[in-house]
Structure 1
């Protein structure tokens, strides 16, 4: 790999070291990150490159830049796989306030002046969720017809109707929000992450990797951070969540429309869908066992999770009634 890096980029690293899920090396106080990009279309990578250039122009020194090959291309083939090479600056080790950091990132991303098509997800949640739900429901029906063959399948067959209802509630909540409420300036699309969690910036030592980005409503990142923290900390998560939201809102206050989208995303049982999907996609017994443990944990805690969703607006001190935000009665 080191030899091929030299042939492609004229760069000779002494060794490669892991950073999160990436391979990296250092040259003259710059960190280089080798990112596999086989899952992306060329048009997606072009938009990621433009977003990266823009964020660097806006003064975000934590953003990694795309490095061209000796031939001027931004995708290289190394060991028969497609990669992009990104370059960033060493960041000082310090505690970060993720709410403020994310709000500033969104503020900059909102100013991006060009049209986004390939990475655009804003306004598409309902269609994407419906498609995902239909696929899993058809799969569930096939498992019911063939009868469960192991403990995971029994749990999946028994639990799916409940999470089907949760997903339908989330979809309806988005529909109602779009009918009942008007988006404000704060609801403009911005650069977001595919999945923003407390690990996103710590795994890469605060380096921001553009291949992890999409273009969406800012509540996406906020909801995914909250989801992750809740399932990590359970009922002890309320203090962390409140601090995160308060720090974010000091820079980027959410509209009523934004709060409703955030809540819709929390309602959608992404944790359940991903666990089931990854179990069946996994070829490893050890991974399947881990996903079964994870599913059992979710099912053991479903009542606490339901209470968390039912009391969410009250817990964060949001005057939902005054803002005209509908609550989900059955969760209360």
Structure 2
């Protein structure tokens, strides 16, 4: 790998180590991160580079920049896998005020003056969720008529109508938000992560890797952080309230933004990913997905209670902001 890196980039690393999920190496005070890009399109990578260059210009030195090969390309093929090499200033060890840092990140990203098309997800949640729901509903009906045989399939067949209803509620909540609430300056699109969690920046020692960036409403990152913290964390409600308070101190959300955040929490993403993952793997990782769907179904009542009390738990003045509650949850 060291020789191949030298051939492609003219850089000979002394040693390779893991930085989160990625291979990395150090050259003086710079960290280089080798990232497999899978099937990402060239147009997506171009926009990611434009955004990372802009964020660096805005003064965020923790953002990793794309490194060209010796031929001037930003994608290299190493052992039949396409990679991008990214470089960032070495970050000092520090405790992270994550909510505040995300708020600053969003404020800078909102200032991007160019056009983003390939990475844009702003205003597309409803269409994307409807498409995903329609696909899974057709698949569910097909499995139903074929009579399920495995334990996972039986759980899927029995539970899907409930999660169909939950997803439809999330879609309707977005529709109502777009009809009733007026977007504010705070609702402008900004740079978000595909899936933001409390681990994402920490695992790369606070280096921000642009390979999974999208251009979307800031509530996307907040909702995914909250979702992950609720599903995985202890003392989740206290941590969620602290995180959102830190964020709001820098970049307050509008009523429109709070409603989008709640809609995203309402959409049963983990359930969809579990079912899709099981069938895409051909049932090859059956124990993993079996355990996962069982845990999701066991927490159904708890999840409803969390959603029903979410606004109250973060002390959001819903009546003042004109934010509706879902009667069936309460």
Distance apart, 1:3 and its partner CA: 1.4
SS in 1 for 2:8: helix
Matched, 1:274 2:264: no
Matched, 1:262 2:261: yes
SS in 2 for 1:116: coil
| Per-residue deviation, residues 20-43 of structure 1 (Å, max 9, x unmatched) | 221111111211111111321111
Residue equivalent to 1:207: 207
Distance in structure 1 (CA, Å) of the matches to 2:106 and 2:216: 10
Distance apart, 1:284 and its partner CA: 7.0
Distance in structure 2 (CA, Å) of the matches to 1:20 and 1:142: 40
Residue equivalent to 1:323: 321
SS in 2 for 1:322: helix
Distance apart, 1:283 and its partner CA: 5.3
Which residues of 2 match residues 30-69 of structure 1 at below 5 A?
Answer: 30-69=30-69
Which residues of 2 match residues 191-230 of structure 1 at below 5 A?
Answer: 191-230=191-230
More moved, 143-152 vs 168-177: 143-152
Q: Which runs of 4+ in 1 moved over 6 A?
A: none
Residue equivalent to 1:166: 166
Matched, 1:243 2:236: no
Q: In the alignment, which of 291, 294, 297 is matched to residue 293 of structure 1?
A: 291
Matched, 1:14 2:34: no
SS in 2 for 1:23: strand
| Per-residue deviation, residues 215-246 of structure 1 (Å, max 9, x unmatched) | 00000000000000001136x31100000010
Structure 1 stretches lacking a partner, 5+ long = none
| Per-residue deviation, residues 171-227 of structure 1 (Å, max 9, x unmatched) | 000000000011000000000000000110111111100111000000000000000
Provide the TM-score with structure 2 as the length reference: 0.98
Residue equivalent to 1:25: 25
Distance in structure 1 (CA, Å) of the matches to 2:208 and 2:269: 24
RMSD: 1.1
Matched, 1:116 2:116: yes
Residue equivalent to 1:312: 310
How many residues are aligned here?
Answer: 330
Residue equivalent to 1:176: 176
Alignment CA distance shift 1:126-1:191 (3 Å) = same
Residue equivalent to 1:233: 233
| Per-residue deviation, residues 26-69 of structure 1 (Å, max 9, x unmatched) | 11121111111132111100000000000000110110010011
Residue equivalent to 2:142: 142
Alignment CA distance shift 1:284-1:140 (3 Å) = closer
| Per-residue deviation, residues 252-290 of structure 1 (Å, max 9, x unmatched) | 0000000000000000000110111111122574x3211
Distance apart, 1:149 and its partner CA: 1.3
Alignment CA distance shift 1:284-1:61 (3 Å) = farther
SS in 2 for 1:249: helix
SS in 2 for 1:243: helix
SS in 2 for 1:115: coil
Distance in structure 2 (CA, Å) of the matches to 1:118 and 1:249: 29
SS in 2 for 1:32: strand
Provide the TM-score with structure 1 as the length reference: 0.97
SS in 2 for 1:238: helix
SS in 2 for 1:77: strand
SS in 2 for 1:35: strand
